[in-house]
Amino acid sequence: MTTPRISVALGTHNGADYLAEQLGSILAQTRAVDEIVLSDDASRDGTVELAERLIAEHHERTGGVVPELRVLRNDPPLGVTANFEQALAEASGDLIALCDQDDVWRPDRLERAFGALEARPGVELVASDARLVDGAGAPLDLRLFETLGIDEQAVARLERAPFDELLRRNLLTGATMLVRRELVERARPFPSSWVHDEWLAMVAATGGGVAVVPEPLIDYRQHGANQIGVTKLGLDGRLGRLRAPRTARNARLLARAADLAARLPAIVMARDPDAPRAVERAVADKLEHERVRSALPAGRLARLAPVLGEWRTGRYARYGRGPQDVLRDLVQPV
């Protein structure tokens, strides 16, 4: 069997402060990468020039020809999702590792992720836990899965029935993902209402499935300027969510559900024309759930009856956080 080529899809935007450390960790992998596709979103801090210099210095030291660096420049910027979609689309590898500009990979990140794919032939996406670190790289004594509420049972559900689990909420983070190129081809074009990694996970969940490495394979840097980051909410944070206006968030959830219902069944049927219609029914039901939530009246007392009616359908539990979403819908201001 031929050894699969591995590409890195690296999205950058003014990332010069951290990029050298990240590139160093990529070049130090125990499973070498063949190609780095750097899609830069209108950086003004020398990000691209830094990457080109570091790769040239690596080639000079090693006398090697890999990894090849391919640079795509966007001006004006495309935004996070479209920028990563561009990098993924241009990657030529059989496997593609998604990469943020400010993280640091463990030396065996690719080796472990590749091993997880080999262990479950047909799986299209593998993701892992991550160690959270601050801007200086110091550990925050938190893991990514901990902040997301992912325990052993959630990991088991993700591997056994990923579609059902991801219909409730996204649990997989792009910075930890290794995907098959076929997944990217099936998933494109990415809907603008979805973040790239969430969409890839959903498409994989209805295809070959996902695998999870429960150990942290990267340091996931949290420095206050992340385009996408994570937080572990304390009591004040939870109360803050209940006080936050609901209109924009529910409109966003409705748009995502509409795109899901419009796109996902066709993707499933294109892969397998004889596939059962369960996905189509589920995404239509989720869309109806978000329509009900988005149409709730402004007055809190007036919401009580429609929220109770929606609770009785079971959709709060099937397509969201259950009691947490019920409470949000009852108390959040417009």
- Taking 50 as the threshold, does the pLDDT of residue 250 lie above it? yes
What span, in angstroms and rounded, lies between the C-alpha atoms of 150 and 18?
28
Specify the pTM.
0.94
Mean pLDDT in residue range 45-56: 97
Contact by Cβ (8 Å): 195, 80:
yes
Mean pLDDT in residue range 195-212: 97
- Taking 60 as the threshold, does the pLDDT of residue 13 lie above it? yes
Going from the C-alpha of 61 to that of each of 6, 7, 24, 51, 66, the distances in angstroms are 21, 21, 13, 15, 12
Task: Give residue 231's pLDDT.
Answer: 54
Contact by Cβ (8 Å): 142, 232:
yes
Range(s) of the chain covered by CATH 3.90.550.10 = 6-221
Task: Give residue 233's pLDDT.
Answer: 47
Instruction: Give the 3-state secondary structure of residue 244.
Output: coil
DSSP conformation letters of 205-224: HTTT-EEEEEEEEEEEE--S
- What CATH class is the domain 6-221? alpha beta
Q: Name which of 284, 286, 288 is nearest 319 in CA terms.
A: 286
Report the C-alpha dihedral over residues 114, 115, 119, 121, rounded to 10 degrees: 20
Mean pLDDT of the chain: 94
What span, in angstroms and rounded, lies between the C-alpha atoms of 321 and 293?
13
Instruction: Give the 3-state secondary structure of residue 225.
Output: coil
pLDDT tens digits, one per residue of 108-162: 999 999 999 999 999 999 999 999 999 999 999 999 999 999 999 999 999 999 9
What span, in angstroms and rounded, lies between the C-alpha atoms of 72 and 290?
37
Strand residue runs (E) in 222-328: none
HSE (side-chain half, CA atoms, 13 Å) at 50: 20
What confidence tier does 64 reach under pLDDT thresholds 50, 70, 90?
confident
Take residue 241 and report the two structure tokens written for it: 């969510």
